[in-house]
Amino acid sequence: MKMTFKITVIGGVIVFFAVVIAAVFIPKLVWNPDQTIVAHPYTDQEELGRETFYSNGCNYCHTQYVRAEDTAMGPVSDGGNYYFDNPMILGSERTGPDLSYIGRKRSEAWEIEHWKNPREVSPLSIMPSFEFLSDAELNAMASYLFNLGDRVAAEYMILPPEPYANLIDPLIYPAISPDSNQPQGWPTWEASELQAGKELYVNRCMTCHGCAGNGLGTYAGTLIVTPADFKQEPFRNMPDEQWFWHVSEGVQGTVMPPWKESMSEPERWQVIRYIQQIFARPVERDPDEGDPSGEYAGLTNPVPLTVETLDEGKAIFIRECRVCHGDAGTGHGPYRQGLLPLPPDFSDGSYGTLQDPSYTDADYYWRISEGLPWSAMPSWKLRYSEEDRWKLVQYLRVFFTQTEERPSSPSGQDFLFPEVYQSQAMPETASYERGKQVFLERCAHCHGLAGDGQGWDGQYLNPQPANFHDMAGMQMSQSGQAEHLAKVTFGIEDTAMPTWGEVLPVSERWDVIKFLMGTFMAGKPATESVYGDGAVAANFVTLSQDNWLAEGHVISETQGADLYGTYCATCHGPEGQGDGPGTQSNASQGPAAFPQDMGEPYIMWRIWEGVPDSMMPPFQWLLSETEIWDITAHVQQMTASSSGGG
Amino acid sequence: MLSKKNSASANFMLSAALWLVIGVLMGLTLALQFVFPDLFRGIPWLVFSRLRQAHTNTVMFAWLSGAMMGVWLYIVPRLTGRQLWSETLGNICVILWNMALVAGIGGILLAYTQSREYAEFVWIIDVGVMVVLILNLVNLYMTIAHRTEPKLYVSLWYISGTLIWMPMLYFIGNVMWNPATGALTGIDDTIFNWFYGHNVLGLWFTTGLLPVIYYIVPKETNTPLYSHFLSLIAFWGIAFFYTGVGAHHLLWAPVPYWLKTIAVAESIGMILPVVAFMMNILLTMRGNWNRFMTSIPLRFIITGWAAYILVSYQGSHQALRGINLITHFTQYVPGHAHLSLLFFAASVLMGAMYYIVPRIYNARLYSRVLANVQYSLYVIGFTFFFGGFLLTGLVQGTSWLHQGLPVWSVLPGLRPYMALRAVGGSLVVISFALFTLNILVTVWQRKPVSQPDYPKPKSPKLVTTSD
C-alpha cells in the first residue's frame, strides 16, 4: 500500500469519525437515563457548593459512583442520578471515601470542621486542610454535600436481584392491622401464622438475634459481625423484598445462612412476618389472652417443690428470662427497651396472694410453653423440657408472684458448693473500682446502693436481699472469700439471689467481692470533698447546661428530685447533709455534706464518674445522660446559697 | 528574529525543558502530601486537589506537548527535504502556547478549572490551545504538501494523522460548544470526557511520539526501517483501535454495557499494532545493540520504546473487567499513566532532544557524564516510583474488594508505599533537573563540535641533500 499525504489525512479522518460515531455520538443519542429519585435540581447555594467542590478538585480523591462490588457504600449508581450534573464529577480515584450518598450522614457543622481540621475529627484521614476557603464557600459546599444522594436508610440497601425484586408478603391478613376491629387474641394471632413464625424464630433465629430481637442472642458475642438488631433502622422500615431476599439467600460477609435451603417459602414469610410485627414495627395491642385450653387445660405442677427444683428453675430464669424480666422479676431487664408490650412486673400485686392466687399452675405453664400473642415472649416448649418449664413455674410463683409456699431449707445444713471453689483465692488483679461498677449494675437494685438491702427493685422479695452492713468489721479468710465467690456464682438456694455464674465472668465476680469487702467489712473513710480546689476533670470543664439544652434536650428538676430520692438520698440524705439511712451502721463512713454552690461541671463530673476509692459509683453505668442532668439540676438547686433564687 | 532557521523547534523544546522541572516538582509536592498531608497547610495553590490538576496539565501540555511539537518542527523539514513552511508561524505558536499554559495552569492553581480529568482548562484557554493546534497544523501540512522528497516516510503518516486528530479530539472532548462549563449535562458528559481523556494519550502522545522513534532509531543506527508492511499495520491499527478505548475508564460507571464492551475489545485489539511496532523496531535494532550504550539519544529512545510496549500491554490487561475491578479507583491507574508519560513519552522526548538540540546549535552536548548519570537516576528512580504506585494500588484494590474494608481504614497501611513513591520520585526529579541543566548549558556554551582526534601525520621531513 502506497501511503500518500491524501490517503493518510483523509483515511485518518474517516477511521477517526467511524469510531467516534460508534463510541461517542451514538451513546450520546441512545443513552439518556431518566431522572431518579436521587437526582434533584440544585439550589443556588448547592450549585455554588458544587462549583467550590469541583473547582478545588475534591473529585480527584472522592468518587461519586458506586459499583455492585463495593462494600457498604449504598446502591449501585444509576445514570439518572446525574440528571442535573454539569460537569460530571464521577472521579477516577478513591483516595478518600465515595461521596455518592454522603447526604445526611454527617451534619453540615461536622463537614466544615472536617474540612478545616481533617485529622481532628477523622484521625486516619490524609485530606489536606481547606481552611483557606471562605465561610460562604464552606457553607455552600456543606449544603451541597448534605443534600447529595440523601435518602432513608432502607433505600441505601442494595436492591434485591431477581427473583426477589418487588416481592411482597403473600398473606394479607386483615387482622394484622392494629386498626382492625378484629379481636386480637389467639385465633387472630394463629390465623395470621404469627405463632408459626414465632416457633420458627425461636428454633432458627433466636440464638443469634436474641429473644428480644436486638441482635444479642447467646451466640452474638462469638460473631465478628453483630447480628441484626431488628429494632433499629434499616430494619424498622425495610421493604418485604429485602427481608425475603436476605432470609432466603443469607447475608454476604456474615454467618447469616441462606434459609432457602431448609425453609419453605411460606415458612420464610411466616418468620419475616413475626419479626416485622413483634420487633421491627411493634404496635401496642390489648390482646385477649384467654385461658389455657387443649392439652394445657387444668394442668397442675407434677414436679414436687423442693429447694433443689427451685434452684434449677432459677438457673434457667437467669440464663433466659432475666434479660427482659429482670433479676427481681419486675420487668426491668436490660433488653426490655423497645418491646411492646413490656414485660410484666411480677410484684405489682395483680397475681393474687398465697391464699388467693389469680393464676393457676396451668396459666403459668401455658404462657411459658406457648408464649403470648402479640408479644416477644418465646415459646419455651421448643427449648426446655416439660420438667424444666414446671421448675420455672415454681421459681416464678415462689419468689416473684409469691403465690406458692416457699419450701423450708433443710436446717443446719451448710452452704454446699463444688470442691474446686474451696481452693479459689482472690486474684491480685481483682479491682475495687470495677467491682463497684458491677455492684451498681447488677446488685444495687436489690441490695441497695448503700448495701443495706434496701434496693428499689427487690423490696418485695421474700426473703429480703441481704443487708451488707451486718458484715461491718468482719475479717474474711481465703475460705470465706471462696465461699462468697460460690454464693455469687451459684446464687443462694432458698432466695432469689441469682446464679451469677450464668452471666458474669469469674473475674467480675471476684471484683464485686473485692468491692464488698473493701466497702462493708473494712470500710472506706469519708472522702474529703475536693470541691474546694475547684478541681474538675478536664473533659468536664467546658460542660454547660446551655449546650445540652441546645441539642434539644429537656432538663427537669422535678424528675431530678425523684431520681435523687431513688438513687442518692440513701447516703446523701434528703437534704444533702450526708446522713441518709444507708449510712447507718455502715462500715464505710457517710459522705460529707454538699458544699454550697458547686458548679454544674463539678456535680456532673462526680455523678458521671463517681469518686474513686469511695462508695460513690460512676452513675454513667446506670443512668442515662438526661437523668444525670436532671439530678445535677436538683443538686444544684439544693445547694444554691440563695435558696429563694429563681 | 522569529524567522531564524530551526528557531521555532528549539524554542519549543527549551521552553518545555523549563516546564519539565516545574511539572515534576509539582509531582513531588503531591507525592509528599500523600505522606505528610499537612506539609503545605494553609497555602491554597499548593493544596493537593488543585495541584494535581496543575501537575497533569503542566507535564502533559507544557512539557510533553511543547517538546513534542518542537521535535516535529525539526523532523518534518528533514523528512520533506525542505525548510519549515513558516518559521515565524512556528515561533508564534511557541509564544501563544506558553502564554495559554501560563494562564491555564495559573488559573487551575487559583481554582479556575472545569475539573474534567485532562480537560481542566477553562474555555478561553481551550480556545488558545485550539488556535495553536490549528496554526501548527497549517504550518506542518504546508511543509509536507510542498515537499521535495516524494516518498512519505512512516513518521510523516503519524505526524499528519496526529495533527488532524488532536484538534477534533480536543474540540469534541472539551465540549467547546458550551463555553460556560465545557461539559454536557448528565451522565453522557463522562463518555465525552474519557473519550478525550484517553485519546490525549492515544491519538496525541502515542501517535506523536512513535514517529520520533521511527525517525531516530534508523538515523542513529544507520539502518533502514525493517518493514513498511509492519508500519502500515501499526498505523492503521492504532487509528482504529485507540480511538474507541475511552470507555474502559468507565467500566463501573452507569454507561451502556455495550459501550464498555466495545472499549474492552478495542483495548485488547491494541495488542496487534503494538506487536507490529515492537517487532519493527526490534528488527531494525538487530545487529545495532552496541549503539544502545554508545549513543545517548538512542539509549533514551529505546528505553522509551520498551516502556511503550510495557505500558501498552499493561493497559490492554487493565481494560479487562476482571482486572479492572481490582485496579480501578486505586493508585495503580495513575501508576499506569506515569509509566506511559514519565517513562515512555518523557524518555523518547529526552532522547530526541539529546539528538536534536546539539544539531540545531551545531554544538557539542555539554556533558556526556551528566547524561549518563541522569539516565541511571531516571531508570532507578522510576523503578521505585512505579513500584510505589503499583503496591499502593494493589493493596487498596484488594483491601476494598476482598476484605471489604472502607476506604479510609486502608490509608495508614498505604503510607510506606506512598513514601517509597516519594523517594523514587525525588530521584526522577533530580534526574530531570540534570537533563534540563545539560540541555541549557549546551545551548549556552555552544562548544564547537570537534572532529575525531585522529593522529596527524607527521609532515615528512624534507631530506635535502647537500652537496
Residues of B in contact with A80 (CB under 8 A): 187
Residue B234 in domain: no
How far, in Å, are A123, A146, A330, B168 from residue A92 at the CA level? 24, 22, 59, 24
CA distance B402 to B379: 33
Which pLDDT value is given to residue A416? 74
For B12, the domain range is 1-151
CATH superfamily of A44-151: Cytochrome c-like domain (1.10.760.10)
Q: Which candidate, B99, B91, B119, places its Cα nearest to that of B189?
A: B119
Residue of A nearest to B47 (CA): A128
Helix (H, G, I), strand (E, B) or coil at B448: strand
Task: Please count the residues of chain A.
Answer: 646
Interchain CB distance below 8 Å, B34 and A253: no
Confirm whether B194 is domain-assigned: no
Q: Test B190 with A132 for CB contact under 8 angstroms.
A: no
For chain B, the domain total comes to 1
pLDDT of residue B304: 97
**Which residue is listed with cell 418491646?**
A339
Give CA–CA dist A16/A37, Å, rounded: 38
CA distance A87 to A289: 64
The three cell numbers of residue B168 are 477534533
**Structure confidence at residue A493 as a pLDDT band (50, 70, 90):** confident
- Rounded mean pLDDT, B367-371: 95
Give Cα separations from A625 to A167, A612, A620, A621 (angstroms). Answer: 42, 20, 7, 10
CA pair distance B175, B127, nearest whole angstrom: 12
Q: What pLDDT is attached to residue A646? A: 38
Average pLDDT, integer, range A582-591: 85
Are the CB atoms for A590 and A468 separated by under 8 Å?
Answer: no
Q: How far apart are CA B12 and CA B353, in angstroms?
A: 11
Average pLDDT over residues A566-580: 89
Contact call for A27 and B191, based on CB within 8 A = yes
| Residue whose C-alpha is closest to residue A426's, from A502, A490, A518, A503 | A518
Query: What is the per-residue pLDDT for A175?
Result: 63
Does residue B340 form part of some domain? no
Assigned superfamily of A294-400: Cytochrome c-like domain (1.10.760.10)
What's the CA gap between B128 and B276, in Å, rounded? 36
> Given B333, B405, B408, which is nearest A92 (Cβ)?
B333
Among A126, A131, A251, the strongest candidate for a mutation testing the B interface, having the largest count of B CBs within 10 A, is A126
| Mean pLDDT across A504-529 | 87
**Cα–Cα dist A467/A444, whole Å:** 11
B144 contacts in A (CB within 8 Å)? Answer: 5
Distance from CA of B148 to the nearest CA of A (A): 13
Q: Helix, strand, or coil here: A352?
A: strand
Asked if the Cβ–Cβ distance from A12 to B240 is below 8 Å, we say no
Reading the block at residue A344, the C-alpha cell is 410484666
Give chain A's mean pLDDT.
Answer: 88
The pLDDT of residue A644 is: 44
**B259 shares contact with chain A (CB less than 8 Å):** yes
Specify the CATH number for A174-280; select among 1.10.760.10, 1.10.10.10, 3.30.70.20, 2.40.50.100.
Answer: 1.10.760.10
Query: In the structure, what pLDDT confidence band is assigned to residue B448 with cuts at 50, 70 and 90?
Result: confident
Alpha-carbon distance of A219 to A234, in angstroms, equals 22
Q: Are A366 and A381 a contacting pair, CB within 8 Å?
A: no
Q: What is the pLDDT of residue A413?
A: 64
pLDDT given for residue A307 in this prediction: 87
Show which of residues 364-393 on chain B sit within 8 Å of chain A, judged by CB atoms.
none
Q: Do A65 and B253 make contact, defined as CB atoms within 8 angstroms?
A: yes
Query: What pLDDT is stored for residue A540 in this prediction?
Result: 83
Using an 8 Å CB-CB cutoff, list chain B residues near A20.
Answer: 172, 195, 243-244
Report how far residue A629's alpha carbon sits from residue A618's, in angstroms, rounded to the nearest whole number. Answer: 14
Q: Tell me: pLDDT of A306 over 70.
A: yes
User: Is residue B166 domain-resident?
Assistant: no
B326, closest residue in chain A (CA to CA): A69
pLDDT value of residue A578: 86
Report if residue B78 sits inside a domain: yes
Query: Which whole number is the average pLDDT over B113-121?
Result: 94
> Angle CA(B393)–CA(B397)–CA(B399) in degrees, nearest 5?
115
Give the pLDDT band (50/70/90) at residue B344: very high
Average pLDDT over residues A491-511: 89
Asked if the model's pLDDT at residue A155 lies above 60, the reply is: no
CB burial of residue B23 (10 Å; 0-12, 13-18, 19+): buried
CA pair distance B1, A576, nearest whole angstrom = 98
Model confidence at B452, pLDDT cuts 50, 70, 90, reads: low
Closest CA relative to residue A481, chosen from A414, A416, A427: A427
Taking a C-beta distance cutoff of 8 angstroms, is the pair A157, A115 a contact?
no
Q: B404: which chain A residues are within 8 Å (Cβ-Cβ)?
A: 71-72, 253
CATH level 3 topology of A531-639: Cytochrome Bc1 Complex; Chain D, domain 2 (1.10.760)
Lowest-confidence region among A416-420, B155-159, B316-320, B331-335: A416-420
Distance, CA of A139 to CA of B441 (rounded, Å): 52
Residue B130: what residue type?
M
Chains A and B form CB pairs within 8 A to the count of: 233
Could you give the angle at the alpha carbon of B37 between the alpha carbons of B36 and B41, nearest 5°?
115
Write out pLDDT tens, residues A371-398: 998 899 999 999 999 999 999 999 999 9
Asked which of A366-370, A500-504, B104-108, B304-308 is least confident by mean pLDDT, the reply is A500-504
Q: Which of A4, A31, A94 sits opposite B407 (nearest CB)?
A: A94
∠ Cα A33 A35 A40 (to 5°)? 145
Residue B368 clears pLDDT 70, i.e. is over it: yes
A-facing residues of B in 185-244 (CB < 8 A) are 185-193, 195, 203, 232, 236, 239-240, 243-244
With 0.90 as the threshold, say if the pTM is over it: no
Q: Note whether B113 contacts A: Cβ–Cβ < 8 A.
A: yes
Angstroms from B326 CA to nearest CA on chain A: 10
Between positions 265 and 284 of B, the ones with CB within 8 A of A are 266
A325/A272 Cα distance (integer angstroms): 25
Please determine, for residue A107, whether its predicted confidence score (pLDDT) is greater than 70: yes
Q: Out of A4, A54, A124, whose CB is closest to B115?
A: A54
B161: pLDDT confidence band, cut at 50, 70 and 90? very high
Calculated CA dihedral for residues A345, A350, A354, A357, nearest 10 degrees: -120
Q: Is the pLDDT of residue B463 over 70?
A: no
CB contacts, 8 Å: A6 with chain B: none
Nearest to A12 among B144, B165, B191 (CB): B165
B4 assigned to some structural domain: yes
**Gyration radius of chain A over CA positions:** 32
**A31/B255 touch (CB, cutoff 8 Å), yes or no:** yes
**Mean pLDDT computed over B279-290:** 95
- The Cα A100–Cα A87 span in angstroms is 15
Contact B404 A71 (CB under 8 A): yes
> How far does CA A464 lie from the centroid of its chain?
30
* CA nearest to B50, candidates A56, A468, A349: A56
Q: How much is the average pLDDT of B16-29?
A: 97
> What are the tens digits of pLDDT across the range A30-82?
999 988 878 888 999 999 999 999 999 999 999 999 998 888 787 889 898 99
Confidence of residue A223 (pLDDT cuts 50, 70, 90): confident
Q: Are B23 and B54 in contact (CB under 8 A)?
A: no
Give CATH for domain A419-515.
Answer: 1.10.760.10
- The residue in chain B having the minimum alpha-carbon distance to the alpha carbon of residue A52 is B111
Query: If 0-12 CB within 10 Å is exposed, 13-18 middle and 19+ buried, where does residue B369 land?
Result: exposed
User: What residues are paired with A352 via a beta bridge?
Assistant: A357
Question: Which one, of A614, A612, A597, A606, lies nearest residue A631 by Cα?
Answer: A606
- pLDDT band per the 50, 70, 90 thresholds, residue B405: confident
Q: Which of B168, B190, B239 sits opposite A90 (nearest CB)?
A: B190
A433-462 pLDDT per residue, tens: 999 999 999 999 999 999 988 888 888 898
Q: Residue A87's closest chain B neighbor by CA?
A: B183
Mean pLDDT of B208-227: 96
Residues belonging to chain B: 467
Confirm whether B16 is domain-assigned: yes
What's the pLDDT score for residue B144? 96
B255 touches chain A (CB under 8 A): yes
Chain A residues inside the 8 Å CB shell of B80: none
Find chain B residues with C-beta within 8 A of A32's C-beta: 186, 188
Q: Where are the alpha helices (DSSP H) in B84-122?
A: 87-109
Question: pLDDT band at A147, cuts 50/70/90?
Answer: confident
Residue B38 contacts A where some CB pair is shorter than 8 Å: yes
Q: Which residues in chain A are closer than 8 Å to B111, comparing Cβ atoms? A: 55-56
| Whole-number pLDDT of residue B436 | 97
Comparing CA positions, the residue from B400, B390, B310 lying closest to residue B347 is B310
SS3 for B363?
strand
Sort out which chain A residues have CB atoms less than 8 A from B41's CB and list them.
128-129, 131
Rounded CA separation B89/A75 (Å): 55
Closest by CA to A376, choosing from A276, A502, A293, A234, is A276
Helix (H, G, I), strand (E, B) or coil at A462: coil
Q: What is the ipTM of this complex?
A: 0.93
Tell me whether residue B288 is exposed, middle or buried, using C-beta atoms within 10 angstroms of its C-beta: 0 to 12, 13 to 18, 19 or more.
Answer: middle
What are residue A215's DSSP bridge partners? Answer: none
Q: Which grid cell is A140? A: 455552600
CA-CA distances (angstroms) from residue B74 to B129, B140, B141, B162, B215?
21, 11, 14, 16, 11
Residues of B in contact with A16 (CB under 8 A): 165, 168, 203, 239, 243
Cell numbers of B42, please? 494553609
Give the pLDDT mean for B364-386: 96
C-alpha cell at A630: 436532671
CATH number of the domain encompassing residue B25: 1.20.120
Closest residue in B to A71 (Cα–Cα): B404
**Among the listed ranges A13-27, A273-287, B181-195, B274-288, which one has the minimum average pLDDT value?**
A273-287
Measured between CA atoms, the residue of chain A closest to residue B192 is A24
Contact B186 A65 (CB under 8 A): no
Backbone φ and ψ of B238, nearest 5°: -65, -45
Cβ of B111 under 8 Å from any chain A Cβ?
Answer: yes
Output the nine-digit C-alpha cell for B449: 563540535
Closest CA to B52 of B118, B5, B98: B118
The reported pLDDT for the residue numbered B134 is 97
Q: Which of A33, A94, A128 sits opposite B47 (nearest CB)?
A: A128
Closest residue on chain A to B229 (Cα): A1
Taking Cα atoms as reference points, which of B183, B255, B173, B248 lies closest to residue A31?
Answer: B255
Q: Is B366 inside any structural domain? A: no
